[in-house]
Amino acid sequence: MKIRAIMVNTFREAIRDKVLYSLLFFALLMIGGSILLGRLTIGENIKIIKDMGLASISIFGLLIAIFVGIGLVYKEIDKKTIYTVIAKPVHRYQFLLGKYLGLILTLLVEVSIMSAGLLLLVLFYEGYIELSILKAILLIFFELMTITAVAILFSSFSTPILSGLFTLAVYIVGHLSRDLLAFGVESESAMIKYSTAFIYYSLPNLDNFNIKGKIVHQVLVSWEYLSFAMLYGVLYISIILLLSMVIFQRRDFK
Amino acid sequence: MIAVKTQGLSKEFRTGFTMKKVSALHNLNLEVEEGEIFGYIGPNGAGKTTTLKILTGLIYPTSGNAWILGRDIRDVAIKKDIGFLPEGPYFYDYLTAKEFLYFYGQLFGMRKREIEEKMDELLNLVGLRHVKDIQLRRFSKGMLQRIGIAQALINDPKLLLLDEPMSGLDPIGRAKIKEIILQLKEDGKTILFSSHILSDVEMLCDRVGILTNGKLTDVGSLDSLLIPEVKSIEIVTSHMEENTIEEIKTITEKITLRDEKMLIMVDSEENKERVLRIINRNNGRLISLTPGRKTLEEYLVEKLNRGVAL
Ligand SMILES: Nc1ncnc2c1ncn2[C@@H]1O[C@H](COP(=O)(O)OP(=O)(O)OP(=O)(O)O)[C@@H](O)[C@H]1O
Ligand SMILES: [Mg+2]
């Protein structure tokens, strides 16, 4: 109940912020813009639309996750709004979880709106909607939930700018981490072997969530794979949130 | 029962790049009795806010312990009985007054009906019913202070911790808050509040605690703190003959004549009696007799000056 109240309050703050609407506007503009690009490439029309559409959802979702995520906890402390909440019978972990879920709810709404835009376009051009595109969107959403957790972790102990940079770094390296591991295995140096393995296992392997290319090119993605990726996401998010809670529990609000 | 008890409570902050230690609170032993209004005073930076932040779990003490209503402050459940108004105040400015109070009601696990009833009552109490659907970003400072008080009362708390509740309020607002505080005491609640407005503290408090540089230097009822400090008694008379002045001057030099009236200050009970006898003998009329108990303000200023001199 208390977690839900904090979640709803966080969601309310987000939807009363104009920045979110402009982001959403640009996302829809980009999804719509894929029609123009599609015109230029004969025959590949629908592929371009799907490709750009999914990329837009992913990028704009990422922008929201990072920008809102890094300020989520910091702003409450900086603006001292957290004082009255912590003085109520609310555990700190409940507060953190509520904030996290509030942003996830915001992302859910945003991603749904963007997806609706994309699906309408696909329906218009193809006449039907395949289930596979929903699979891609589902995994994009899990990726966003993972990134949000990472943003919260950083913002539970550092400033928004640093958190933003760290989170962006995790996003980039997280997409390269499999290559990194491969590079490490080939390497002669034990140092490089261990450090690349460390990075691979501690940072999220975000490629697990990336099936956009396969979906666009109509390669089948099995339900088994989907379940594996989602389970991976849930586990990773749980660990990151737990870590955030431990840090958050110990700090002074001043 | 003791409403608030601290034992050897200390807090050090580490600041700056060098992590230099700043001692904000030093070995604080404070006891606030249940049912009393306790005024927590002291100059800027004395550690009042730090104390309240420790009691509400916003920061952790470096050492020492504290109990609220007999239970350790580390137990989050004690917050069910606390109402807290932070210094400031800073609130979610995108919420309307109603949404704001509703949110805090939910944090206490109150039911919808329960919250709504309490909300109406509180909005009336702090005089904000006409703006209940307006976002807090459009509130004035005093209005924020009022909604802050309402927020602190949503759970009908047994103990109120108020950090400068009267700051930023106009005279009517201040009178209103004082009235609310006195009413809360009538209802059997304990109030611990910090303030710089000493006349308010004097009027409201059963006991005060004076904090200086993180140390509690004085605790007690106002009478016990101020009466030993009585230095002067003020006597106002009229219809006195000119020649009596000379007689009184042998007792005290502090005589002021204004219109028909004469204001005489004496420094002891004994001298007071002597002056009264002179007035009687000369058929003067006694208008007022005021034992000049020092004001809390004079007391504090003197105390601090002495501290600086040391
Ligand atoms: N976050 C912080 N970091 C470092 N020092 C701090 C911090 N907060 C408070 N202090 C220091 O602790 C001391 C006590 O501060 P506190 O805010 O408790 O004073 P106060 O009695 O509430 O003062 P005021 O009347 O101005 O509100 C001050 O010396 C202050 O500089
Ligand atoms: Mg203060």
pLDDT, averaged in runs of 10, over chain B (310 residues): 94 85 92 95 92 96 95 95 92 95 96 95 93 94 92 96 91 90 94 90 90 90 70 80 79 80 83 85 82 72 64
Q: Judge: A84–B88 Cβ closer than 8 Å, yes or no.
A: no
- What's the token pair of residue A169? 């770094």
Place of tokens 């502090």: B254
pLDDT at residue A39 tops 80: no
The values of phi and psi at residue A247, to 5°, are -65, -45
Report the pLDDT value the prediction gives residue B10, as an integer from 0 to 100. Answer: 96
CA gap B178, A113 in Å, rounded: 51
The yes-or-no verdict on residue A87 having pLDDT over 90 is yes
Interface touch B90/A13, C-beta < 8 Å: no
Backbone angles phi, psi at B214, to 5 degrees: 80, 5
Task: Give dist(CA B154, CA A146) in Å, integer.
Answer: 37
Residue A46's pLDDT is: 79
Residue type at position A100 = Y
Residues in CB range of B214: below 8 A, 6 or more apart: B11, B23, B24, B25, B26, B28, B46, B47, B50
* Exposed/middle/buried for residue B253 (C-beta within 10 Å: 0-12, 13-18, 19+): exposed
**Could you give the domains of chain B?**
2-222 (3.40.50.300), 230-293 (3.30.70.1150)
- Which pLDDT does position A144 carry in this prediction? 96
Residues of chain B with C-beta less than 8 angstroms from the C-beta of A3: none
Side chain identity at residue B304, one-letter code? L
According to the model, what pLDDT value does residue B231 have?
66
Query: Distance from B162 to chain A by nearest Cα, in Å?
Result: 12
Residue B16: other Cβ atoms inside 10 A: 8
CB environment B73-90: b (16+ within 10 A), e (fewer) = beeeebbebbbbbbbbbb
Instruction: Return the pLDDT at B239.
Output: 77
Q: Going by CA atoms, what residue is nearest to atom 18 of ligand 1?
A: B47
Residue B56 and residue A87: Cβ atoms within 8 Å?
yes
CA distance A33 to B30: 68
The confidence score (pLDDT) of residue B310 equals 43
Q: How many helices (H) and strands (E) does chain A have?
A: 10, 0
Query: Helix or strand or coil: residue A80?
Result: coil
**Top-confidence residue, A100 or B260:** A100
Residue A44 pLDDT grade (very low, low, confident, very high; cuts 50, 70, 90): low
d(CA A45, CA A30): 15
Ligand closest to B55 (CA) is: 1
ipTM, two decimals: 0.88
Query: Do B60 and A252 form a contact (C-beta atoms < 8 A)?
Result: yes
Yes or no: say if B4 and B159 are a contact pair by the CB < 8 Å rule: yes
Cα(B89) to ligand 1 centroid in Å equals 16
Check B53 against A253: CB less than 8 A apart: yes
Chosen for mutation from B92, B95, B135, B162 (greatest number of chain A CBs closer than 10 Å) is B92
For residue A21 the two structure tokens come to 């609407």
Which two tokens mark A88? 């109520």
Distance A254 CA to ligand 2 centre (A): 12
Among A26-40, A200-214, A226-240, which is the least confidently predicted range?
Answer: A26-40
Q: What angle do CA A232, A167, A229 make, to 5 degrees?
A: 15
Residue nearest to atom 16 of ligand 1 (CA): B47
Helical spans, DSSP H, in chain B: 48-55, 97-107, 112-125, 141-153, 171-186, 198-204, 222-226, 242-249, 269-281, 296-309
- Give the mean pLDDT of A226-245: 95
**Alpha-carbon gap, residue B25 to A252, rounded angstroms:** 15
Is the per-residue pLDDT at A198 higher than 90? no
Q: How many domains are contained in chain A?
A: 1
What spacing in Å lies between the alpha carbon of B182 and ligand 2's midpoint?
Answer: 22
> What does the pLDDT average to over A223-229?
92
When pLDDT is cut at 50, 70 and 90, the band that residue A136 belongs to is very high
Supply φ then ψ for residue A253, to 5 degrees.
-100, 105
C-alpha to C-alpha distance for A171 and A150, rounded to whole angstroms: 9
Domain residue limits at A214: 2-250
As a whole number of angstroms, the distance between CA B241 and CA B280 comes to 12
Most confident by average pLDDT, A47-56, A82-91, A153-162: A82-91
Phi and psi of B293, rounded to 5°?
-60, 140
Q: Quick one: pLDDT at residue B285?
A: 84
DSSP, residue by residue, B232-246: EEEEEEES--HHHHH
Alpha carbon distance A36, B3 (integer Å): 71
Torsion angles phi and psi, residue A228, rounded to 5 = -60, -50
Structure confidence at residue B106 (pLDDT): 96
According to the model, what pLDDT value does residue B309 have? 45
Question: Residue of the nearest CA to atom 17 in ligand 1?
Answer: B49
CB contact burial B201-237 (16+ within 10 A = b; e otherwise): bbebbebbbbbbebebebbeebeebbeeeeebbebbb
Rounded to 5 degrees, what are φ and ψ at A44? -90, 5
8 Å CB contact between B186 and B179: no
